[in-house]
Structure 1
Amino acid sequence: MSEEKSKVKYVFMIAFLLIIGGVFSAYASFSLLGPKDLGVEYTHEDYLSALEKTGMEIEYNGLTGEALEEYKKDATKESIHDYNFEFSEYERKQFTLTAEESTALLNEIAPSFWWFDDLQVKVSPDGTMEGSSSVDIKRLKADLYPDVADDIPIPLPDKLNIYSKGQISITDNKLSGNPEVFNLGPAPLPAEYMADESVSVMEDYFPRVYTVVPGLEINSLTSNSNGEFVFDGVIPQKVSVTEK
């Protein structure tokens, strides 16, 4: 067995132990209750503001603008493998997003394909970032991690609420993190499992979530003292999605 796959099993075994340890109280958190509320509420105007700052224009099966927004209201989850994605007109962009704008963008830009629901993100004045969401584990394994999905030694729930807090940044597409808290459902990851080895595995595998966009270059993603996310990188200005 490769060292890489051994590390993956190590992290998922930790998750399994936490799930078993809190199975009765966790059931509601996994299946019935939403993820931790960070108090971030966004509006449609926050989403439009975020889109304007990024410069991105999205077309989905010929739908754009308000027609696309209406379609999204009743859209169901779909596999990225059933669609063709065309990214074009890449430009370097530098902008800041508020917690509301960031949360709106993450929830609304591609809800049919996004693996995270009811997501909230925020930044504290000291630069600490918080994130909370319900994760579609089943679709994540199929879409982004098929190469290691069969190596997970235990069954995981199809959906799982997560919450994280800590110092996080991205430089040249590489994630760096110093987590203070990481919760799976209601159970916190014990301190002994927040060591460098576990964090290193997360840093190796989580970038697949954003590098799924070909040609995306995140020169830096940090935060400022105003509680905003600060982005500098190269992103596509045109995104076209069509059925295969």
Structure 2
Amino acid sequence: MSPALTSEEIRRRVDELGPWFHNLDLNGVATAPSHFLGDYPRVKWRRFAAAIPDDLSGKTVLDIGCNAGFYAMEMKRRGADRVLGLDTDDEYLAQAAFAADVSGLDIEFRKMSAYDVGQLGERFDLVIFMGVFYHLRHPLLALDLIHEHVAGDMLLFQSMLRGSMRVDPVEPDYEFWAVEQFERPGYPKMHFIEHRYAADPTNWWAPNRACVEAMLRSAGFVVAAHPEEEVFLCRRTVRPQPDGPVYPARRSQT
């Protein structure tokens, strides 16, 4: 850990590392006080924090798409033995490393994509996959890879949702000419965003709730709790289709 910094030194470094998407409280210095979602992600965390065990002693946590490390730090504060945060953005990783250091939390951060988690070669008691799913060109592949390579027990999942929050029962099969189910609001649907949504070119998908739950089940996760509108706490189970599309872990060239 670095020596204790003054508020002025923290503020100066926060400004150098900005802009921030996570509004963190670093010894009284807010990193994104004017966030358009308010005190984000803390305001969201308060709505589902009770779904995560208060004591994570002896547990390992993997935070995929950790951004500035808010959730990784919360898991470490709950006593997790090891917390690893992954992101592909160098700026976010620098923010996360600085925030954890200032907060006195021993967290490891690595530059890695959700598609490359097989390289880690280990499973984690809790995998956090918050705010990443709809930014991926291949979201179901990412879920398959998480199930295949790194999920040991719990998966904390969040996605932007659009459309109906209703979940209709789905038959195991339909005749070729049956089409009415596709028009129901509670049928699993995912909207593809070709250009931009909310001025963000990485917003590729906007699923409804039924779609998220169906894709989680298809990847081998059981929804154990739905503590917040966009948040699902899942448990790893056997994938219903064992021959699902899973890419092998990439190997570095030698």
Looking at secondary structure, tell me which structure has more strand per residue. 1
Q: Same fold (TM over 0.5)?
A: no
Q: Which has the higher contact order (CA 8 A, sep 6+)?
A: 1
TM-score (norm: length of structure 1):
0.30
TM-score (norm: length of structure 2):
0.29
Looking at secondary structure, tell me which structure has more helix per residue. 1
